[in-house]
Structure 1
Amino acid sequence: MPRTHQAAWDRLAHVAVLDLPRLNGDSSTVVDPTVELDVDEVFGRRAPLVVEIGSGSGDALVTGATEHPDWDFLALEVWRPGIGHTLAKMSSATGGEALPNVRFVEVDAEVALRTLLAAGSVHEVWTFFPDPWPKQRHHKRRIVDAGFAGTVLRLLEPGGTWRLATDWAEYARSMREVLDAHDGLRLVSTDRAPLRPMTRFERRGIEEGRPITDLAYVRD
């Protein structure tokens, strides 16, 4: 990590990053599947919960948590430098502190979300600009598939929303095909997600001529 990101990690990780039992030792990215997170205990209150899958450098997370202090945000990010970057942004936004309504889990979200959270406990799930794996032979690695849609559907409260965004038109079509065919999920918007800020990745996609697609599906 760059020095400023490492410094933010060293100062804030013990507060903001959850230390959960791992299936194969401390360096594993797989949480023990017998562990179910007590979200109310983690945040010290009961509030609408947003789960961000792949928080990257934290633009949406910090924006959302700052604008919605009445919501709690759980970010699942497997890339530690991304968490460090987000902690540095958070520190800049708060004058050096962690946001009290944000926690991270350094983990493979696709696996962890099968067991980590109680069914019907999540207000919104965010999947902004997941890895598109553009080559045909790598499409099986994409996180948005029928199996993962079932995982998200289990997590969402009735009326809860899954927000997605991508700058790959073919992946957007694939998302639509998968989610439109999934019982229990209903497309309600293709407008830009209200708390999603412009990021350098999105800007680069636009500069390279790739259209941005936003999708919002609600659990019926």
Structure 2
Amino acid sequence: MPEPRTFRDEPVSFVRRSGRMSDAQERAFQKLAGRYLLDVPRDVAWTSVHPDARLDPASEYGRTAPLIVEIGSGQGHAIVAAASSRPQDDFLAVEVFRAGLARTMLDADSAGARNLRLVEANAPEVLSSYLPEGAASEVWIFFPDPWHKKRHTKRRLVRGGFGHVAARALADGGLLRLATDWEDYALQMREVLDAEPLFERAFDGDWADRFDGRVMTAFERKGLGKGRDIRDLVYRRVPRS
């Protein structure tokens, strides 16, 4: 008798909030999803990715170019700005909230960004299987949910084991860029990644300089407005043996 399938064997780093989309956002899905949103085969949940599914970047983008992946792209402000200003690179936004995906597609279309794709999926599954090994030149994680209550910290994206998952998706020498306005999460990120032998620090001192390729978003303004320091980290994927 086959083993019963489990829904997920780890807590996800998000709570799925459907939320009512505006009329403009609904129209964006109808009009723009075919251009921007990847059709991903699902597994046990709507935001899951079937373990046999693989992205073919050259086929999807119609060329071979550096691929930058943003985990938790939110409203898409950072990745749309980057995609529209760096047409020589390709970009993939990973997000689970449909309103954010709709806003990203609207802004990308207005900016004429054709080098951007979106995937509605759980980030670790994108990194661990959907992306071909070594496909990404950079992975960005900017202001992930801090899950600041002690009983919820196990839901944090960057926790024990995450470094290995991220390293799989990155090319040799590729960069993992992170930013948060929660000090204890920044310390956890640094501890997790310092302990991961597949990464090495790409900064001096306690924290990295602010990444000048990251536009100021509402999350960053909110953190600054509350008097919290923004802490950046950047790690380099060590060469595969």
TM tier, smaller? over 0.9
Q: Is the 8 A contact 1:8 1:91 kept in 2?
A: no
Count, aligned residues:
214
Task: Tell me the amino acid that sits aligned with residue 127 of structure 2.
Answer: L
Q: The residue matched to 1:114 in structure 2 has which SS? A: helix
* Aligned pairs for 1:192-203 within 5 A: 192-203=210-221
The aligned counterpart of 1:84 is: 102
Q: The residue matched to 1:113 in structure 2 has which SS? A: helix
- Alignment of 1:125 with 2:145, yes or no, is no
In the aligned structure 2, how far is the partner of 1:208 from the partner of 1:122? 34
Task: Tell me the amino acid that sits aligned with residue 48 of structure 2.
Answer: V
Task: Tell me the amino acid that sits aligned with residue 215 of structure 2.
Answer: P
The aligned counterpart of 2:172 is: 158
The aligned counterpart of 2:32 is: 12
1:9 to partner: Cα distance: 2.4
In the aligned structure 1, how far is the partner of 2:85 from the partner of 2:231? 23
In the aligned structure 1, how far is the partner of 2:26 from the partner of 2:227? 34
Higher mean alpha-carbon deviation, 85-94 vs 180-189, is at 85-94
In the aligned structure 2, how far is the partner of 1:184 from the partner of 1:20? 28
1:193 to partner: Cα distance: 1.4
In the aligned structure 1, how far is the partner of 2:51 from the partner of 2:195? 28
Task: Tell me the amino acid that sits aligned with residue 162 of structure 1.
Answer: L
* TM-score normalised by L of structure 2: 0.85
* Aligned pairs for 1:40-189 within 5 A: 40-94=58-112, 99-189=113-203
Structure 1 residues without counterparts, runs of 5 or longer: none
- Provide the aligned C-alpha RMSD in A: 1.2
Q: The residue matched to 2:41 in structure 1 has which SS? A: coil
Cα-to-partner distance string for 1:110-130 (whole Å, 9 max, x where unaligned): 223211111111100000000
In the aligned structure 1, how far is the partner of 2:84 from the partner of 2:174? 21
Q: Is the 8 A contact 1:49 1:72 kept in 2?
A: yes
In the aligned structure 2, how far is the partner of 1:205 from the partner of 1:194? 18
Structure 2 residues without counterparts, runs of 5 or longer: 1-20
In the aligned structure 2, how far is the partner of 1:145 from the partner of 1:155? 17
* TM-score normalised by L of structure 1: 0.93
Q: The residue matched to 2:42 in structure 1 has which SS? A: coil
Moved over 4 A (4+): none
Cα-to-partner distance string for 1:20-73 (whole Å, 9 max, x where unaligned): 21114xx71111111111111110100000111110001111111011111111
Q: Is the 8 A contact 1:146 1:182 kept in 2?
A: no
